[in-house]
Amino acid sequence: MCGIVGYVGERPASRLLIDGLRRLEYRGYDSAGIAVLTDPTNPGGHSLTVMKRVGHVAQLAAAVPEDLGGNSGIGHTRWATHGGVTEPNAHPHLDNDGRIAVIHNGIIENHAILRAKLVEEGARFRSETDTEVLPHLIRKFYKGDPVAAVRAALSVVQGTYGVAVLFADHPGLVVGARNGSPLVVGTGEGESFLASDPHALAPYTRKIVYLEDREIAAITPLGWEITRLDGGATNHVVETLTESWGGGDRGAYAHHMLKEIHEQPESLTRCLSGRVVPEEGGARLGGLDLGPRDIAGIRRIGVLGCGTSFHAAQVGASAMEQLARIPAFAEIASEFRYRNPVIQQDDLFFAISQSGETADTLGAVKEVKVKGGQVMGVVNVVGSTIARTCGRGVYVHSGPEIAVASTKAFTSQVAALLVAALSFGRTRALGPHEGRAFGEELLRIPEKVASWLERPGPIADAVELLVGGRFVFFFGRGVSHPVAMEGALKLKEVAYIPCMSYPAAEMKHGPIALIDHTTPVVAIVPEDMMRDKTLSNIQEVRARGARTVVVHTEGDREARKLADVSIPVPATNLLCSPLLTVLPLQLFAYHAGLTLGRDIDRPRNLAKSVTVE
Ligand code: M6R
């Protein structure tokens, strides 16, 4: 979603800010802007030069003069919440005199009341945004001390924020603060940085300090100071960013999404290696820090996430029940957090998130903690807010996922949850032979994924059928139902094709009324104990005119006969099957998006990291 970069030092600020914003582009945005302190020799002091553009960072970069000058500045990518996608609504926003510039991620919930009061007091608003109250509020409280002014302004604000503030009267200073929206300080020799994502700073510094909620940072070329918004002291350490995030390199691939689909053999290998221990029939996940006695004491498992991560959570919950015989459920994090859930001491929760910054999932994590429950992160981005808030968990190690549509993160999330289920299963229900067989099959999956990706079958035929439909139905049973949901989500996100997904047996309870020759159906039917029943459901939709794409196990002739387009995947056990059956669905979405001329890596209206509720 929105992105923040701030800089103070010796380098030309505008170029560095734009470079940082480019690294944040993958998060999703619709406009971009910078404010830089210029005119150092002006007798009236520095000026704030603000430039904004709707559209891509490249359009902003083209508009910013090479010789703009200035060594301090802030830059922002905006994903519209309050007010349309227009230049006046793009950040930075200014106070009346244009001496204070603010960029903001998050939502100021009491903006309407604050705005009305500020207008009465003479503030002139130029945008429809919630953010614009901030520069006016800071101006109101400014008596010469910039940090005190930001602190005072934020004390009357309700909502979430990562902010960066630049004062024309204080060259060589940027003030930042966070509450519910990530912000880090980067430190270098004679320069300091702010960013909403440390990877924006990777070419300049890997020395990072993570702000916590309700903290404020003042950065100067000489260093940084972080205090609590209530004035209290903090005790931060500088951490070194070890992960390489890259960002721009698509290699030989036309899109990040396609590259990431093809990276799954390696990402799965990274996720599994050293964790599955077939000779013990089990698995080791040091980050969970749970011994056999702790695992034996778990009474219930909840797996929480949003979007694709929720689909992985559903597979994970099934695996926990099947392998460990622990009652388990999956729930959409945004619903869980507000339904006052019953959480008991012997419950264990997993929070699933690629980005580790999803506001709804973070809210659910906090709800578990408030109620005294235990929660583990299953996260891709190292050092992200959810990972740090949980404190314990599993990194899925899928590597940087740049395309907004999640692919390799999904399979790594499922794999990590299967490893956890195996580990719990070995303690609770599985004998060494069953555990070993499951672990060995899990370790074979990356090779099966690689071999399928080399010869994926008639994807083009399936795509032709899907893009020609009025809308598309996806169905499956058991763990193939979350796979169907994931296939439908991918096709909506990337190709903007209306889709529905159902447990296969539910079709006849209503949705089948919609079926005719204009509604292609994608059926996920691996060889499991429910296969025959799903085959009957395929017959039912075919009898009503639907054309079918059937994703089935290699060699399943009966399934093939029921398919207008048959997509076989390698055989595996039921719980591992989502790691294979999801692959064609990812390619359907990619190629359908391509056929329809969509913006594959950055679909409209979407953000990679959803940091507002
Ligand atoms: O970063 P997270 O995994 O927490 O993100 C959750 C969802 O926003 C995300 O999976 C979203 O549904 C993706 N665009 C799916 O492709």
The whole-number pLDDT of residue 68 equals 86
Q: Which fold has domain 2-240?
A: Glutamine Phosphoribosylpyrophosphate, subunit 1, domain 1 (3.60.20)
Q: At 29, is the pLDDT very low, low, confident or very high (cuts 50, 70, 90)? A: confident
> What number does the ligand 1 atom closest to the CA of 381 have?
1
pLDDT > 90: what percent of the chain? 87
Q: Which fold has domain 459-595?
A: Rossmann fold (3.40.50)
Q: Where in the chain is the domain with CATH 3.40.50.10490?
A: 256-454, 459-595
> What number does the ligand 1 atom closest to the CA of 386 have?
4
Q: Which of 84, 26, 27 is nearest to 54 (CA)?
A: 84
Q: How large is the average pLDDT for residues 152-175? A: 96
Calculate the average pLDDT of the chain: 94
Q: Where in the chain is the domain with CATH 3.60.20.10?
A: 2-240
The answer on pLDDT for 139 being more than 60 is yes
The whole-number pLDDT of residue 412 equals 98
Render pLDDT for 556-602 as a digit per residue (tens, 0 to 9).
999 999 999 999 999 999 999 999 999 999 999 999 999 999 999 99
**CA of residue 521 to ligand 1 center, whole Å:** 24
Around 163, how many Cα atoms within 13 Å sit in the side-chain half-sphere? Answer: 31
From 140, 408, 492, 608, the catalytic residue: 608
Active site annotation includes 608:
yes
Active site annotation includes 390:
no
The whole-number pLDDT of residue 245 equals 61
- Specify the range with the lowest mean pLDDT, choosing from 179-183, 374-378, 589-593: 179-183
Render pLDDT for 401-439 as a digit per residue (tens, 0 to 9).
999 999 999 999 999 999 999 999 999 999 999 999 999
Give domain 256-454's CATH architecture. Answer: 3-Layer(aba) Sandwich (3.40)
Residue 353 in contact with ligand 1 by CB distance below 6 A: yes
The whole-number pLDDT of residue 244 equals 64
Q: Which of 76, 75, 72 is nearest to 9 (CA)?
A: 72
Q: Report the amino acid identity of residue 97.
A: D
Render pLDDT for 118-130 as a digit per residue (tens, 0 to 9).
999 999 999 999 9
**CA of residue 338 to ligand 1 center, whole Å:** 19
Render pLDDT for 454-496 as a digit per residue (tens, 0 to 9).
999 999 999 999 999 999 999 999 999 999 999 999 999 999 9
Give, using CA atoms, the residue closest to atom 12 of ligand 1. 307
Render pLDDT for 305-354 as a digit per residue (tens, 0 to 9).
999 999 999 999 999 999 999 999 999 999 999 999 999 999 999 999 99
Torsion of CA 351, 331, 575, 436, to 10 degrees: 40
From 2, 271, 390, 576, the catalytic residue: 2
The whole-number pLDDT of residue 46 equals 81
> What number does the ligand 1 atom closest to the CA of 609 have?
1
Torsion of CA 353, 356, 358, 359, to 10 degrees: 130
The answer on pLDDT for 371 being more than 60 is yes
Q: At 28, is the pLDDT very low, low, confident or very high (cuts 50, 70, 90)? A: confident
Alpha-carbon span 479 to 578, nearest angstrom: 7
Are 25 and 1 in contact by the 8 Å Cβ rule? The answer is no
Render pLDDT for 227-283 as a digit per residue (tens, 0 to 9).
999 989 999 999 988 766 655 578 899 999 999 999 999 999 999 999 999 988 999
